[in-house]
A and B are shown apart, each in its own frame.
Chain A
Amino acid sequence: MSSDLSGHFHDMALSMFVAYKALLFNETPVACIVKNTKTGEVTSIGYNYTNTSLNGTQHAEFIAMQRFKDQDVNYKDLVVYVTVEPCIMCASFLRQLGIGKVYYGCGNDRFGGTGTVLSVHDDPNLGEGRYESIGGIMRTEGIQLLRNFYIQENESAPQPKIKKNKEIETKEFPRNEFKFSEDQFIENYGKERIPLYNDGVKELTPVFGKGYSVHDLIDISSVKALPYLEQELGEITQDQLNEFCDLFFNIHDNGEINYDKPIRKYNAKKRHLEE
């Protein structure tokens, strides 16, 4: 009965920031961090690397776990915080490694392999390695990062194609559906949050009954402390962190999204954010 989810939100916010750095690097903004539950240490990060590598299998989970390839590590001790539900490929990969647990932000409607399209993580027909995959922490932020990537594609096309999709500063989010059982929901998010399970509109917050904004979740020192990030995706500045936080709505105390907050969107052409 873990009713204070602040730790999970902190870790997921770190992943979201890694995803933003990937976006600045012209990659799809999906990312993860890997935490060792025995030591509490973040031991790896990963981000989508398919564009740079020309390899469609280089998803965030692969980049993160490949670092352990020649190490003696007990995968059962590892928890992955990933901004988007693992795809079918990654869900199977993590199962074959014997991962401890997955937390994800938003569901993956096209390829989701841990509950949305298939349930590779706990399909009893696939042999060993079943694991729990729990979604919904920072769901809207995970979606908003992807939207910032897709509008950028449209805007860099010679002639913008679908204008209505560009208005992501006001666009509402799809319904919040949890793709795991009510028992798992209670066990992971606490009994008091159970009205959210079938609500569809409200979002999880770190402390029940209290809203949040991404600003509150991470600071410059916590993102600078992430392993591999600055070496691989460049220096992190306070301006970058502020720009990142400005991409998102905040969440009210009752779990509703504050669509009235003016947010920014990322513009690749200008290489900075525009109002």
Chain B
Amino acid sequence: MKTSKNSENEHVNLEQGILYGVLKQIRANEDQISEKPTLVSVWYCDINPKDTQKIVALIRDHLTDPDPVSLTHIKRFMKVNECIRSILCSLEYIDEGKLINLIHEHCPGVEIRSVGLIEVPRYAPQTKDITQAWSSKYWPLAWKGNPNHQFLNTVEFDISREEEIVSTLLDELEQCIKKSKDSSDCSGVSATLIAENINDSIKLKTIHANTGSKTPYDHSVMKAISSIANNELHRRKHSSQEDGEGYLCHNMIVYTTHEPCVMCCMALVHSRIGRLVYLQGTPPTGGLESNYQLGDRDGLNWKFQIWKWIGQNEVHRLESLVGKESKAINY
């Protein structure tokens, strides 16, 4: 095996996309990469070239960190006729009125010739060729080398905590199998846990199992998503203080025993989760490695990190509960 010069981190295997020896990245491969990007609306303004430095400071100090959309792959400035057009921030972050107030407040004297919205690729393109194609079609983008290698080198997990949560998930599955009447038939048994990262610590929010029902109503991912929604409804009804409103499963972390089916994967896209961890693949009906790579597809309006847990202890424990991978069952 080639040793990559980039492997400055010992726990990172760039070639195979494996972290800590237990989390394997599942992502679209080259021929599944779409030429069509996921787009996001961003604010631009046209200014006199002499004011460029003031706008640079505005973006750096006030519009980068609080913006929920990362624009590091976007070149910020482009010459348009006699003006400089600058990408300021996403529409998700701020509306036009607030943006104009910010500009007036922090850049007094800067003459804003126009402000408007354009659509740019939301995520960094995966290859240099696509970078060039999208740059000419949408807006100039920066190519800083393979973005996935950069991602793998910078992403960090508290791996003992991850292990703990996977064990909790398997405990739940084991309990449910014991409780169910016919414990000899474990096909279709699955469990899903949803957690949230709050102040750098991962808190469990809900856990659900499907004890072998064959109908799509009962998939554990769908049940877990519903329970997050119902809890939030309940919270809004009974809490008077405004401590931030939950929005779907925004950036939550989902741990599930099996590669979710196509329906469940798209439900996770609609619910805007941040990261998914699963243990067993489910050909032929799964919606990730088995089909479509939903969750890592340009063109849909949301992506999330997908990891397959390959730690042997947990994988063997799951196999002892439900059998080995590659049964043709719907989960």
Contacts and interface: CB of A to CB of B under 8 A. Distances in A.
A90 B261 CA distance: 12
B95 A56 contact: no
A194 B117 CA distance: 41
Interface stretch (B61-69, B148-156, B203-211, B224-232): B224-232
B291 A123 contact: yes
B202 interface: no
Interface string A93-114: 1001100000000000011010
A110 B301 contact: yes
Contact of B96 (A56, A69, A93, A161): A161
Given A89-B263, A93-B263, A55 B229 contact: yes
Contact of B95 (A69, A97, A159): A159
Nearest to A56: B270
B272 interface: yes
A34 interface: no
A159 B267 CA distance: 32
A57 B225 contact: yes
A118 B97 CA distance: 39
Given A120-B262, A125-B291, A126-B262, A56 B271 contact: yes
Contacts of B300: 110-111, 117
A57 B96 contact: no
A54 B245 CA distance: 11
Given A89-B267, A89-B270, A117-B300, A54 B246 contact: yes
A166 B267 CA distance: 30
B266 A54 contact: no
- Chain B contact patch, size range: 35 or more
Contacts of A159: 95-97
Interface in B278-297: 284-285, 287, 291-292, 294
Interface stretch (B11-19, B44-52, B161-169, B214-222): B214-222
B296 to A, nearest CB: 14
Contacts of A127: 284-285, 328, 330
A66 B217 contact: yes
A205 interface: no
A56 B232 contact: no
A52 to B, nearest CB: 9
A117 B294 CA distance: 12
Q: Residue among B225, B248, B262, B291 with the most chain A CB within 10 A?
A: B262
Nearest to B262: A92
Contacts of A66: 217
Interface in A138-163: 157-159, 161-162
Contacts of A55: 225-226, 229-230, 248
B299 interface: yes
Contacts of B232: 54
Nearest to B266: A89
B248 A56 contact: yes
B216 A93 contact: yes
Interface in B176-231: 215-217, 222, 225-226, 229-230
Nearest to B116: A162
Contacts of A93: 216, 263
A55 B227 CA distance: 9
A53 B228 CA distance: 11
Q: Residue among B95, B263, B285 with the most chain A CB within 10 A?
A: B263
B310 interface: no
B248 A54 contact: yes
B91 interface: yes
A126 B216 CA distance: 14
B214 to A, nearest CB: 9
A88 interface: yes
Interface string B73-109: 0000000000000000001000111000000000000
A118 B217 CA distance: 22
B133 interface: no
7 contacts: A54-B248, A55-B229, A55-B248, A56-B272, A89-B269, A92-B262, A159-B95
Given A56-B267, A69-B215, A110-B301, 11 more contacts: A54-B229, A56-B248, A57-B271, A88-B294, A89-B262, A89-B263, A90-B263, A91-B262, A92-B263, A126-B262, A127-B328
Closest 7 pairs between A and B when the two form their complex, measured CB to CB: A89-B266, A55-B229, A92-B263, A56-B270, A92-B262, A96-B216, A88-B266
